[in-house]
Amino acid sequence: MEISDEVIELGRKAEAEVQKEFKGIDELCEYHSLRVLNAFQKYQISDMHFNSTTGYGYSDIGRDTIEKVFAKVLHTEDSLVRSQFISGTHALTVALFAFLRPNDTMISICGKPYDTLDEVIGIEPNPSSLQAYGVKYEQIDLIDNDFDYEAIRNRMSKKDVKLIEIQRSRGYSLRDSIALDKMEKAIQTIREVNNDVIIMVDNCYGEFVDKIEPTQIGADVIVGSLIKNLGGGLAPNGAYIAGKKELVSLASERLTAPGLGKEVGPTLGINKQILQGLFFAPSVVASSLKTAVFASKLLENLGYKPHPRYNEKRSDIVQTIEFGNPEKLIAYCQGIQMGSPIDSNAIPEPWDMPGYTDKVIMAAGAFTQGSSIELSCDAPIREPYIAFMQGGLTYPYGKLGVLHAVQNILK
């Protein structure tokens, strides 16, 4: 593996220092494994649910049962789980266009959303954006990594807002991921003055990281990708929208067509991969968390600035490392690629990626293109030069990838 004895020893030291955190992750994995198993048993999953449909996809019992299982696991009335979603961004776009109408106002209460939503909302001009259709956008920035509760209360009292968007993960911003206790307080603040506004949570990277999901603390609808946490590394594509039944119905009619909704959508043989991916998801998320904790401790020991620190509570699987130097940042991402099972001989370079305003470097030697539940590391090339690392299908493979990356920055 061309990992030096020095780096191996640094890894052993860091690993010995995080055993308490690993134990907590293992306990969380067992808890969610039990919940998933209960959902499979409740809906009596069997061979027939693995069958495929083509064409219109009418009467796909596997697809319909998968959506019941996801709703059970995510504590929602209903869910829309489809391979026709290209990405988490696509699912978020479908949800926003389903829920909002001309002259409606949406507000992001945790600052600007993830870069790929800029043109969806109209922050960056696009003739197909929400703003081009007359939807108004506002945002309320965080204060010291917490919601501006007073500003939220004052704005919600005007009753003209249709949708509140909360992004659980940090995206490419420098803020913390949103802890669920803070999210609960924000939702309670909203509900004190407005019971009608739709509260939508971008749940990408957050599933199974905590004991509860945002829908258990008052969110109306959550959205996530199947090539992140809940796909378990096995779902080859897809995403979900889960929440109140009437909202899921609106989303389904935006994805397909009014009057058709959830009744159509061929599964083309993907059902088994989605179900098996969900079955593996608690373990895979646990491996991703262990990889992040290990990397955090190891990079901290080397004098870099990881966030969160190894012993801090997490709300998603994302680990950031501030390098303060573009060469170190690029070297770390390239090292992750070198330690990957797929395309380990490739050398990623910063490039102008669609949907992003800065050059971006993306390292992902993954079995599924763009899968960020598999070990990956990406970063916009801008100060203070922070790498955003996530994933790890198994902890041993995640650990080896991190050691490779450390080896590369020490050269």
For domain 52-269, say whether CATH 3.40.640.10 is its number. Answer: yes
Contact predicate 81/70, CB 8 Å:
yes
d(CA 196, CA 213): 21
Name the residue ranges covered by the structural domains of the chain: 5-32+278-410, 52-269
Question: Residue 173 — pLDDT band, cuts 50, 70, 90?
Answer: confident
d(CA 135, CA 128): 11
Return the percent helix, strand and coil in the chain, to nearest 5: 45, 15, 40
Query: Mean pLDDT score of the chain, rounded to an integer?
Result: 96
* Of 411 and 186, more confident: 186
Whether residue 329 has pLDDT greater than 90: yes
Mean pLDDT of 372-396: 95
Question: Residue 159 — pLDDT band, cuts 50, 70, 90?
Answer: confident
Whether residue 286 has pLDDT greater than 70: yes
Q: Count of residues for the chain?
A: 411
Could you read off the pLDDT of 39-93 as tens digits, one per residue? Answer: 999 999 999 999 999 999 999 999 999 999 999 999 999 999 999 999 999 999 9
Whether residue 1 has pLDDT greater than 90: no
Hey, which residues does 110 pair with through a beta bridge? none
Q: Smallest Cα–Cα separation from 260: which of 246, 249, 276?
A: 249
**Residue 176 φ then ψ, to 5°:** -70, 155
For domain 5-32+278-410, say whether CATH 3.40.50.300 is its number. Answer: no
| Residue-level pLDDT at 355 | 65
| Residue-level pLDDT at 17 | 98
Query: Is 317 strand, coil or helix?
Result: coil
Burial 75-89 (b: 16+ CB within 10 A, else e): bbebbbbbbbbebbb
**pTM of the predicted structure, to 2 decimals:** 0.96
- DSSP secondary structure code for residue 393 in this structure: S
Share of the chain above pLDDT 70, in %: 100
| Residue-level pLDDT at 171 | 80
| Residue-level pLDDT at 115 | 85
End-to-end CA distance of the chain: 15
| Residue-level pLDDT at 128 | 98
**Residue 332 φ then ψ, to 5°:** -65, -45
Question: Residue 35 — pLDDT band, cuts 50, 70, 90?
Answer: very high
